[in-house]
Structure 1
Amino acid sequence: MSPNAAPTRYRGDLARAFGRPLLNAEIRRSPDDFQVTEELGFAPSGDGEHDVLWVRKSGANTQWVARQLARHAGVHERDVGYCGLKDRHAVTLQWFSARRPNRDGTRWDTFAAEGVEIVDVQRNARKLRRGAHSGNRFRVALRADAIEQLQESMQERASHISATGIPNYFGEQRFGRNGQNLDLAEQVFAGKRVRRELRGFAISAARAFLFNAILSDRVAASNWNHLLRGERANLDGTGSVFSVDELTADLHARCDEQDIHPTGTLWGDGAPKSTLEVAELEQAVVKKFPMLADGLCAARIDADSRPLRARVADFSVSTNAGAIWLEFRLAKGAYATAVLREIADYESFNRT
């Protein structure tokens, strides 16, 4: 990667909001150490053309599971839907759908795939689409020495995070192994032709990189969780945004209560989405990375907004079996690793 892309910034030198990490820790020593439960946010309709499957998987990625389900049902892969990609090196519960208009010919109780179990089957009128879920619950183990001595400080940090939220960074998995998707983005923007799927990974990595850079700059300036003039404010838990041209006491209060959040631009054609003071701040950051910014605009990827802050709900800390266990809920699109990095300097045991 060229110096233009500042490779370590995809993880290592992003500003932290709560000071130094409390410990050095290891995550994902086994799949059980990283547990994810997807929350659909609505009840399946009970009828319609699609089977909706509640699936537990371990050591398997979402796309591979979708292919196995399609093969078992005898349908095309495009007829299998899911809400989001879940970690491979984890135990996850998530929803899939499979189009079966006649309900004939498929017995899900005979489905067999390594590391995959179908827990429940319901019917729904529509295929599950990406982003259809409301959020995810996490249970994550941090494995470290002398964990008993950290209990009080961990509780204090968790309370602070619950009250304030976290910087809504994209996780390092967005950038591929060792940031390779950023390398690919530079190659794509330089004219290299790649498969559509790989091009999508590259563009997503470039947008995430620029967003993280904008957010890191605001964390360093201690205004990532405050509204500024020219902000596009996001209503918590929704995709709704509105422009903030004038700051009021009511808007500040709503922001402090995490009812609304500042946003940053997901770069692309028409960027920045912000105006006034915020637009100036964002442009000052992004101009440091012209290949990525210009490449996204030239690719005619529409600019969008993403909350700079994520609410961390139902946050609890406990110790058991030689580990500190963190439990919390995040809205869709937020990364558990964004929570972890505000607590620990961590390494993942399984990097393959």
Structure 2
Amino acid sequence: MTELELLGPRATGEALGTAVLKAVAEDFQVDEVLDIPLSGQGEHLWLWVEKRDLNTEEAARRLARAAGVPVRSISYAGLKDRQALTRQWFSLHLPGKADPDLSRAQDQTLRILKQIRHQRKLQRGAHAANGFTLRLTALQADRQALDARLELLKAQGVPNYFGAQRFGFAGGNVHDALDWAQRQALPEQRNVRSRLLSAARSYLFNQVLAARVADGTWQQAQVGDLLAFTDSRSFFVAGEAECVDPRLAILDLHPSGPLWGMGDTPAGGAAATLEQTTAEAHSALCQWLARAGMDHERRILRLPIGRLTWHYPEPDSLQMEFVLPAGCFATVVVRELVDLVPAGQTDSPCVF
């Protein structure tokens, strides 16, 4: 599958040039934003961990081995990129135990920066946001055009696509999900099942969002739309008054799209028609998600970019800093600027 098939069209026009992302881990830095006051006491040990070229699941396994506990005793809020420099929280359930010696878990790929006790474990999805520092290198694009495009993104946000990394190489996770959906069966392995169900929901959401980017309604409320605030999972139906709510203009309130599951779409009007048409075109996937027990949820169509700043450290590099809500992809911001190419190449854009 191509990038266009997985994500859909850009909202702001053609790419302005090419660049390399992740030439080194420091080019893609992520800091988890967790707004939870930690008490300093309790049976859970919370760790603020810096990882380099290491995925979250492997970091959890290493912490478990060093602590002498099963990996199920390790919790984290979300998965972070492997090819990056990331800082995130983990918690270890240690009832009646002293703080373990975790030095064996540490090396050049993992460092424990802070540790503190708390009464509760870290829940999945508990982080409020992620802060990003991205550096694009081998940049071939006009700086004036980039500045103008970045100002536009700062003002209007970007389509809240799931990034191509959700779908595996060349969309392999979607292909596998389609295969299971055709048989209306589920993988036995929990992690494989979770990965494929997530890829299927993400792909269907991107299909709806792509259609609304194409017709120009991705950031406009229509009667029957289900509206949601940036940091809320609840939604409400838009009537004529809600379609001109001033909070839409300041990127606080947004139309939403479906994360498929059991039941019909609660949307109305043109939104319901589009979502039903998408469901009919991908009926096997939708039925598969419902049979798996997934609940119908919503995701905002528009992604506001918080605290966006940028500068040019060298003539051929661009550094950006910004904050995104949890579960959103920094690569969809980059996609509105440039095509990415592999390090050492300048003429063959790659999927990201």
Q: Give the alignment's TM-score, normalised by structure 1.
A: 0.91
Do the aligned residues in 1 keep the contact of 2:226 with 2:237 (CA within 8 Å)?
yes
1:311 aligns with 304
Do the aligned residues in 2 keep the contact of 1:214 with 1:286 (CA within 8 Å)?
no
Name the aligned partner's letter for residue 263 of structure 1: S
Deviation for aligned residue 1:300 = 3.0
Q: Write the distance in 1 (CA, Å) between the matches of 2:242 and 2:66.
A: 57
Shift in CA distance, 273/57, structure 1 to aligned 2, threshold 3 Å: same
2:37 aligns with 43
1:185 aligns with 2:177: yes
Q: Write the distance in 2 (CA, Å) between the matches of 1:302 and 1:146.
A: 44
| RMSD of Structure 2 on Structure 1 (CA) | 2.0
2:160 aligns with 168
Q: Which runs of 5+ in 1 are unaligned?
A: 1-6
1:283 aligns with 276
Secondary structure, in 3 states, of the residue corresponding to 1:316?
Answer: strand
Q: Which runs of 5+ in 2 are unaligned?
A: 344-349
4+ long deviations beyond 6 Å: none
Shift in CA distance, 109/46, structure 1 to aligned 2, threshold 3 Å: same
1:274 aligns with 267
Q: After superposition, what is the alpha-carbon deviation per residue over 1:50-107, rounded to whole angstroms, capped at 9, x for unaligned?
A: 1110100101000000011111111111111101100000000111111122342612
Shift in CA distance, 69/181, structure 1 to aligned 2, threshold 3 Å: same
Name the aligned partner's letter for residue 119 of structure 1: L
Percent of aligned pairs with the same residue? 35
Shift in CA distance, 262/289, structure 1 to aligned 2, threshold 3 Å: same
Secondary structure, in 3 states, of the residue corresponding to 1:278?
Answer: helix
Q: After superposition, what is the alpha-carbon deviation per residue over 1:258-285, rounded to whole angstroms, capped at 9, x for unaligned?
A: 1211100111211323122210122223
- Residues 101-112 of structure 1 aligned to structure 2 (within 5 Å): 101-104=95-98, 106-109=100-103, 111-112=105-106
Shift in CA distance, 24/84, structure 1 to aligned 2, threshold 3 Å: same
Q: Write the distance in 2 (CA, Å) between the matches of 1:124 and 1:166.
A: 37
Name the aligned partner's letter for residue 21 of structure 1: A
Do the aligned residues in 2 keep the contact of 1:33 with 1:139 (CA within 8 Å)?
yes
Q: Write the distance in 2 (CA, Å) between the matches of 1:128 and 1:204.
A: 21
2:291 to 298, 302, 310: 298
Q: Write the distance in 2 (CA, Å) between the matches of 1:221 and 1:83.
A: 35
Give aligned pairs, total: 342
Deviation for aligned residue 1:132 = 0.3
Q: Write the distance in 2 (CA, Å) between the matches of 1:211 and 1:12.
A: 10
Secondary structure, in 3 states, of the residue corresponding to 1:72?
Answer: helix
1:27 aligns with 21
Q: Write the distance in 2 (CA, Å) between the matches of 1:31 and 1:114.
A: 12
Do the aligned residues in 2 keep the contact of 1:265 with 1:306 (CA within 8 Å)?
yes
Do the aligned residues in 2 keep the contact of 1:10 with 1:212 (CA within 8 Å)?
no
1:65 to 56, 59, 71: 59
Secondary structure, in 3 states, of the residue corresponding to 1:279?
Answer: helix
Q: Write the distance in 2 (CA, Å) between the matches of 1:299 and 1:10.
A: 28
Secondary structure, in 3 states, of the residue corresponding to 1:262?
Answer: strand
Deviation for aligned residue 1:176 = 1.2
Name the aligned partner's letter for residue 173 of structure 1: Q
Deviation for aligned residue 1:296 = 1.9
Q: Which moved more, 1:161-170 or 1:297-306?
A: 297-306
Do the aligned residues in 1 keep the contact of 2:52 with 2:109 (CA within 8 Å)?
yes
Do the aligned residues in 2 keep the contact of 1:273 with 1:305 (CA within 8 Å)?
no
Q: Which moved more, 1:106-115 or 1:337-346?
A: 106-115
Q: Which moved more, 1:272-281 or 1:213-222?
A: 272-281
Secondary structure, in 3 states, of the residue corresponding to 1:258?
Answer: coil
Secondary structure, in 3 states, of the residue corresponding to 1:42?
Answer: coil
Q: Write the distance in 2 (CA, Å) between the matches of 1:141 and 1:255.
A: 31
Q: Give the alignment's TM-score, normalised by structure 2.
A: 0.91
2:258 aligns with 265
Deviation for aligned residue 1:122 = 1.0
Name the aligned partner's letter for residue 264 of structure 2: A
Do the aligned residues in 2 keep the contact of 1:31 with 1:91 (CA within 8 Å)?
yes
1:255 aligns with 2:261: no
